[in-house]
Structure formats: C-alpha cells, structure tokens
Amino acid sequence: MTEDSDSKNEETIKFEGKKTFEVKMRPAKGGGIEKAIFIGGELLDWQVDLNSLVEAMSMGPMYYKAVQKDIEKHFVDSVSDFIGRKVTADDIKQAIKDGYI
C-alpha cells in the first residue's frame, strides 16, 4: 500500500458509521439565499427566529446570552433527533470542519 491509500483507509475508519454534514447556501423561500444544513444528504429543517433574537438583543446582553444558549441547546437537540443519536455542540463544530457527524 502507498502512503496515500493508508491515509484514505484511516479516514474511512475514522468516519465509519457517520453521516455527511454539509453547510450550503440555497435559495430562500421568500427570495434571496440562506444557509442550510444537510445531514446524510437530507435537509435539516431548522432555523432561528430572527425577530425573537433581535428582540432579545434589545433587552440587554444578559437576556441575549440566555437566548443564545437556549438556541444552541435546541439546535443540538434537533440534530440529535435528526440523526438518531445524542450529539454535543462540540460534535457539531467538528462535523462542520470534517464534513461528518
């Protein structure tokens, strides 16, 4: 085996049993473009309510941070439900880099 094929085998083992994780831009329903997440080729139908986020910002930094934490927890729970196993925020951050979760 060559060094190149050894690294491909290691990568295959590292991502075995995982699904692809892609962040792509796509046309938005109301026009324009939006960021979308695809896991295993399927669209994760999830989005932040921007009006609520802007309202939280106007209420001050403490409230805004609390809302951000709540959004993160809801997102992690949604990804976990979507793929059928528990994941963490760190797992998702790594998936953005690696392309697999």
Single-letter amino acid, residue 39: I
Q: pLDDT tens, 53-64?
A: 899 999 999 999
The count of structural domains within the chain is: 1
Contacts of 52 by beta carbon, 8 Å cutoff, 6+ apart: 67
Residue 44's pLDDT is what?
A: 97
pLDDT band per the 50, 70, 90 thresholds, residue 13: low
Element at 9 (helix H, strand E): helix 3-15
Q: What is the pTM of this model?
A: 0.79
Q: In terms of residue numbers, what domain contains 84?
A: 3-98
Q: Are the C-beta atoms of 25 and 35 separated by less than 8 Å?
A: yes
Whether pLDDT at 4 is above 80: no
Band (pLDDT 50/70/90 cuts) for residue 49 is: confident
